[in-house]
Amino acid sequence: MAKDGEKMERTDRIAGEIQKEISDIIRNSIKDPRIPQMVSVTGVKVTKDLRYAKVYISIYGSDEEKKNAMTALKGAAGFVRREIGQRIQLRYTPEIIFEADDSIERGMHISKLIEETLHSDKERRD
């Protein structure tokens, strides 16, 4: 049983390291004009066998900007994988899979709705 926990802890550590490095790579190494400044790596999930790393990306901008940025990132996945291979010493460098993450936007939308509800509720009481 301890073995499974150790393995999970190891993949979590590796995922954290990959997340940090990919954030740096996107910010400083990818020179694609389709990728805006407001891009965040919100999470990384690595498979147990370390063959795949699903990278969750949050992009601030219009739907068109998000689509273009995701296209650019998916096109740069091979470059990102090579960079990860050079920066992190692993037996096998995982294949990078970029996924859009709109949880930050959903959270902001929900906060706005709560704020509006509280405001209208306060107006009704006054």
Would you tell me how many other CB atoms lie within 10 Å of the CB of residue 119? 10
What gap in Å lies between CA 44 and CA 101, rounded to an integer? 11
What gap in Å lies between CA 66 and CA 60, rounded to an integer? 7
Look up the pTM and report it.
0.79
Predicted confidence (pLDDT) per residue in 47-87, tens digit: 999 999 999 999 988 899 999 999 999 999 999 999 999 99
Residue 34: DSSP 8-state: T
Residue 53: DSSP 8-state: E
Domains in the chain, start-ordered, CATH in brackets? 2-125 (3.30.300.20)
Name the residue type at position 9: E
| Residue indicated by tokens 């550590």 | 13
